[in-house]
Amino acid sequence: METPLVAPKRVDFQVDPNSYRHLRLKIDGEIATVEIDIDEAGGIKEGYELKMNSYDLGVDIELYDLTQRLRFTHPSVKVVVITSAKEKIFCAGANIKMLAQSSHQWKVNFCKFTNETRLGIEDATTNSSQVYIAALNGVAAGGGYELALACEKILLVDDRSSAVSLPEIPLLGVLPGTGGLTRVVDKRFVRRDLADYFATKPEGVGGKKALAMKLVDGLVPKASFSDEVVKYASQLASTLQKNAPQIGIELNPLKKVVDHDLISYDYVKVLINRELRYAEINVALPDGISAPKSIEIAKGQGENFYMLSLTRQLDDAILELRTNEPEIGTWVIRGKGDPLEIVKFDELLLANRDDWFANEVIHYQKRTLKRFDVTSRSLITLIEGGNLLSGSLFEIALASDRIYQLIDSEDDSSESHFMLSKMNFGPLPMGNGLTRLESRFYGDVTSIEKVEEMIGKLIDGDLALSLGLVTFAPDDIDYDDEVRLCLEERASFNPDALTGMEANYRFVGPETLETKIFSRLSAWQNWIFYRPNASGEEGALRRYGSGLRGNFNRERI
């Protein structure tokens, strides 16, 4: 019997290109090349080797960091080519031994983070004119082919042996967990019956058959592979429009202090209450920080531009809590600062959306807010005195499962107000394509119109409650008790049931490729990871490589 791998005390999501062990980035004008060259001995945990360019969370952390740097540090890049530095193998996907020996929560959070990074690749293609090409110089299996599917174009070496495959079902008893099933039919428009054949054929499909089935976009002779890929990338870059040459900004490591019950950054502080199993996420705008007068000044501030810096800190805090604090089931969000100043930051960014820097900050805010939406934690926002959560930061409240706003019985006009901005009405959509207000008031256009009339106005508890923008607005006599009871109640419930309830309520309306990945696909994979057919002692995932087939319970459930 294999002993489950124990995660390190903390996983740090802060890396930089100088510390990469698995990826190499080369910039040549408008074209960037990412070479996958995974260090077999470089796993983030012990107990497995990353053979055949297989990956684990540590590899994905580098890939996420790299995609962020391409957008902020190298904004002039138009085409990103992902290929392999190894012969005859592009990527073998997620390391099977790592999956077999990891805890359930580790597997699920690993897949979630991987999905978010790959959706970020597609977001860069759509919104940053950084188009990704997968140049498969060898076999792309499982998660390796799923990485290719996140790219806009897929080129496969035509050498009679290289193929693309999704072998998880026949070999491991699990699903392709990072979007493969969804993208094959929803993005590449592979016919359902052919997709069924493909996903149950462990050796995969190569050459002309892969091209005919729409699994790849082109075949490249082995003898001229590198030259043909460069030529293809150059031709594609020539068709993409970007503004004048752009100078990017550096993303230096965040200033972060981590203690047993504290994670602290410049503008974000996380305090952990282990007794009631909640984390208090405090967001601050210190006195003296104000919105710059122009986007050029904002660019001059670079990574220190408040909205970028704050977003980076929130992004890291979410990943820290998800991965390193799985038993902290409730997140309580508070904000302290001038709400009008946040609205001014929003106005600056929206007025300059044609500028690459403003565009990237807005889309980074959007991606970070989406992490809140798909996080399996109860989210509770508290709007109290000197509240900062306005405009784009009010989206955190709208992502929450409940919002409590304090009403001061002394009627102090400086207490417990927030503001809306145009950021709340389009630029920061959820994965379902709707704004959080459209999701909140789904099917109720009148309420949205009333709320939109409040842009730029201070909203107190009574007004917020009447507009439906908060869940409860207790006065200062009852406020503390109501919040306390909510947190105690949350801590007493079955966390699995809470996760299922929250995931169902957060996404309404249309289903998109993104919501399919995070709801339908992830939910089934989560369930399959629990089942003995895959993860049990005699399951296919645990027996892979032993010469024994999985011993399946044959009931269809």
- Helix 104-127 to helix 522-530 angle (10° resolution) is 160
Query: Which one of the listed residues 62, 116, 152, 168 is annotated catalytic?
Result: 168
Q: Assess whether 489 carries a catalytic annotation.
A: no
Token pair for 293: 């007068």
Q: Assess whether 168 carries a catalytic annotation.
A: yes
Residue 42: other Cβ atoms inside 10 A: 15
User: Smallest Cα–Cα separation from 402: which of 331, 337, 450?
Assistant: 331
In the numeric block, the tokens 């006599």 are attached to 477
How far apart, in whole angstroms, are the C-alpha atoms of residue 139 and residue 114? 20
Token pair for 434: 């709707």
Token pair for 505: 């309520």
Per DSSP, which regions of 49-118 are E strands? 54-55, 79-84, 88-91, 93-94
* Contact call for residues 356 and 298 (beta carbons, < 8 A): no
How far apart, in whole angstroms, are the C-alpha atoms of residue 34 and residue 130? 13
* Contact call for residues 218 and 224 (beta carbons, < 8 A): no
Question: What are the Cα distances from residue 22, in Å, to 34, 61, 71?
Answer: 10, 10, 20
Q: Which helix (H) or strand (E) holds 152?
A: none
User: Smallest Cα–Cα separation from 163: which of 154, 171, 172?
Assistant: 154
How far apart, in whole angstroms, are the C-alpha atoms of residue 289 and residue 168? 51
How far apart, in whole angstroms, are the C-alpha atoms of residue 178 and residue 130? 21
Cβ-based neighbours of 34, under 8 Å, separated by 6 or more: 23, 24, 25, 66, 80, 81, 82, 83
Q: Which helix (H) or strand (E) holds 134?
A: strand 131-136
How far apart, in whole angstroms, are the C-alpha atoms of residue 41 and residue 376? 32
How far apart, in whole angstroms, are the C-alpha atoms of residue 360 and residue 351? 14
* Contact call for residues 26 and 33 (beta carbons, < 8 A): yes
Query: Which one of the listed residues 146, 152, 360, 384 is annotated catalytic?
Result: 146
Which residues carry out catalysis? 146, 168
